[in-house]
């Protein structure tokens, strides 16, 4: 079992990061920690070096903060990313968020920044780990134009069934589902008809815990796997095996 998206580098875990990782190691095969900006990417790399062969880093720039990103910072993030390409398993999280960002000009800026990271993923043939909210179809239209991105992941997919169908037309595109499945009826309905071959699992820790006050952690990905098995009427072992194999293939771990 693999948590393909979380943020255990965040200060929320400063007091007990070790315990959280020990609990994860007990049940999971690997954890992917996603950077959300230059400083965060550095932290994620450090953490992955401390827990080699269990924690894997991806470098990105979060779309919601990308609207405040300066030209210099973006350049720095790009060059740092390219310097460390061999050590990271994906480029992300990057993307577009229409839920938090309503302003047209800011959305345009988000997209421009997103495109710079897509170009890198395409040029260096790295998997693209996307945060896309309320604009899934738009993002799909964009990435479909690129031929050399080996894998595309919609982290915490919340788009329509129609867009999901289009995503499933690509063997190398994946939708990642989180612990949110345990309580979100729209997600439960959505995953009913999604092929296991296109599914990854994640927690997005510290977010998306069972209650708003709670702090999520990677080991909880077990609950997402169980929920998928329940909804799709399959055994947990099958869901675990297929989704773990998917993640191993996408991130080459
Ligand atoms: Zn995230």
pLDDT in tens, 73-116: 999 999 999 999 999 999 999 999 999 999 999 999 999 999 99
Q: What is the CATH number of the domain that holds 142?
A: 3.20.20.140
Domain count, the chain: 1
pTM surpassing 0.85?
yes
CB 244 within 8 A of CB 215: no
Nearest CA to 183 out of 223, 133, 155, 219 is that of: 223
Tokens for 191, please give them. Answer: 């995953």
Confidence of residue 67 (pLDDT cuts 50, 70, 90): confident
Across the chain, mean pLDDT equals 96
| H-helix segments, the chain | 17-27, 38-50, 63-66, 71-83, 104-124, 136-143, 161-168, 185-191, 221-232, 236-251
Output the CA 6–ligand 1 centroid distance in Å.
6
Range of the domain at 76: 2-251
Output the CA 204–ligand 1 centroid distance in Å.
5
Give the model's pLDDT for residue 212. Answer: 72
**In the chain, what percentage of residues exceed pLDDT 90?**
94
Cis before 124 (ω within 30): no
Q: What would the mean pLDDT of 163-186 be, rounded to a whole number?
A: 96
CB 201 within 8 A of CB 28: no
Q: What would the mean pLDDT of 172-191 be, rounded to a whole number?
A: 95
Hey, which bits of 147-219 come out as E strands?
152-155, 173-177, 199-201
Longest Cα–Cα distance of the chain, Å, equals 51
Output the CA 156–ligand 1 centroid distance in Å.
8
pLDDT in tens, 16-51: 999 999 999 999 999 999 999 999 999 999 999 999
Q: What would the mean pLDDT of 230-237 be, rounded to a whole number?
A: 97
Partners of residue 147 on adjacent β-strands: none
Query: What are the distances in angstroms from CA 49 to CA 28, 42, 130, 206, 226?
Result: 18, 11, 23, 21, 30
| Residue 211 clears pLDDT 90, i.e. is over it | no
Confidence of residue 215 (pLDDT cuts 50, 70, 90): very high
Ligand 1 ion: nearby residues, β-carbon < 5 Å: 204
pLDDT in tens, 72-81: 999 999 999 9
Output the CA 213–ligand 1 centroid distance in Å.
18
């Amino acid at each position: 079992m693999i948590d393909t998206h979380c943020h255990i580098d965040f200060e929320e875990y400063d007091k007990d990061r070790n315990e959280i990782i020990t609990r994860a190691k007990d049940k999971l095969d690997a954890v992917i920690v996603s950077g959300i900006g230059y400083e965060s990417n550095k932290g994620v790399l450090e953490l992955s070096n401390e827990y080699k062969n269990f924690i894997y880093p991806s470098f990105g720039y979060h779309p919601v903060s990308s609207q405040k990103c300066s030209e210099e910072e973006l350049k720095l993030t790009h060059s740092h990313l390219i310097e460390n390409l061999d050590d990271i398993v994906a480029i992300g999280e990057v993307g577009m968020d229409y839920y938090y960002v309503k302003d047209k000009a800011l959305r345009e800026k988000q997209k421009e920044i997103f495109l710079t990271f897509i170009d890198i993923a395409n040029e260096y043939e790295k998997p693209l780990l996307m945060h896309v909210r309320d604009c899934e179809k738009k993002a799909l239209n964009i990435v479909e134009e690129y031929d050399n991105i080996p894998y595309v992941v919609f982290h915490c997919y919340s788009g329509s069934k129609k867009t999901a169908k289009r995503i499933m037309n690509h063997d190398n595109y994946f939708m990642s589902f989180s612990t949110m499945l345990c309580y979100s009826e729209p997600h439960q309905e959505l995953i009913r008809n999604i092929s296991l071959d296109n599914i990854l699992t994640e927690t997005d820790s510290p977010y998306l815990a069972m209650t708003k006050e709670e702090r999520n952690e990677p080991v909880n990905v077990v609950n997402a796997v169980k929920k998928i098995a329940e909804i799709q009427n399959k055994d947990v072992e099958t869901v675990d095996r297929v989704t773990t194999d998917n993640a191993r293939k996408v991130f080459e771990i």
